[in-house]
Structure 1
Amino acid sequence: MICRAELHVTDCVCLHMCPLLHVFVCVRGQITVTQPAAVRADLGGSATISCRTSQNIYSNYLAWYQQKDGQTPKLLIYTTSTRESGTPSRFTGSGSNSDFTLTISGVQAEDDAGVYYCQQRNSFPLTQ
């Protein structure tokens, strides 16, 4: 199962995420990851993408990725809140237990057309 958040810039930024019904196709016992239907933010404003896991996970096992069209996924945040080298400071991760958040402060045009994934690394299979 892949939950994703797509960023598209027009007059504002729209973040579209996976429908909740995808949760029901997951294998029993597997940790599922759920993101809300949509989040919006103006250019220069803030965007908050939530990520909820079906079980509590250790904070050091939650990561956020960004994938742009035609590119491989890029690690932004690991251990819930640690920025990967090269990740701009406008990207902030937070959360614990089963509720996690990626916040983009001062959304920029270069964030456009990105797909944002949260991934739990607490147990196999890894799920996004």
Structure 2
Amino acid sequence: MSSVSSLSSESVGQNVVVTQPAAKSLQPGQTVTIDSHYTGSQYFLSWYQQKPGEAPKLLIYRTSDRQSGISSRFSGSGAGNGIDFTLTISGVQAEDAAVYYCQSYHSINSQSD
């Protein structure tokens, strides 16, 4: 059984509060979703995975763009309202057991990198 944890985060001074579930336990092969909802202006979201003794690893940026080298089992999506976001891990494996963080941020430049 794998345990997937997620943490809430708060952006000080921005009046942005992100709420996420505390933890989820599941069997290998299942699909898990981690939902985030926050109050504030419209933002993008990044998702990070952190395993014990390791630095956080960027999985998803700009809400749904997968970082290079990250398995396609990880995907990010937004509801289109700028406040509801989901990280989906399909075909969960034991090595996916970790703490998952989300980070909200404002896009200052609307042009693509």
TM-score scaled by length of structure 1: 0.71
Q: Which has more strand, going by share of residues? A: 2
- Residue 63 (structure 1) aligns with: 46
* C-alpha displacement of 1:36: 1.9
Tell me what 1:104 maps to: 89
Corresponding residue for residue 3 of structure 2: 14
Name the aligned partner's letter for residue 85 of structure 2: F
Shift of 1:122: 2.1
Percent sequence identity is 51
Given that 1:15 and 1:39 are in contact with CA atoms closer than 8 Å, whether structure 2 keeps it comes out as yes
Structure 1 regions of 5+ residues with no counterpart?
1-11, 124-128
Corresponding position: 1:35 with 2:20: yes
One-letter code aligned to 1:13:
S
Q: Which runs of 4+ in 1 moved over 4 A?
A: 26-29
Judging by fraction of residues, say which structure has more helix.
Answer: 1
Partner of 2:99: 115
Listed as ranges, the gaps of 5+ residues in structure 2 are 108-113
Contact 1:39 1:48 in 2 (8 A): no
Q: TM-score, normalised by structure 2?
A: 0.79
Are the equivalent residues in 2 in contact too, given 1:81–1:94 (CA < 8 A)?
Answer: yes
Aligned length: 105
AA of the residue aligned to 1:43: P
Q: Who is 2:110 aligned against?
A: none
Gap change, CA 1:27 and 1:87, over 3 Å in 2: closer
The Cα of 1:105 is off from its aligned counterpart by 0.1
Q: Secondary structure at the match of 1:110?
A: helix
Q: Does 1:94 align with 2:83?
A: no
Q: Aligned-pair RMSD on alpha carbons?
A: 2.2
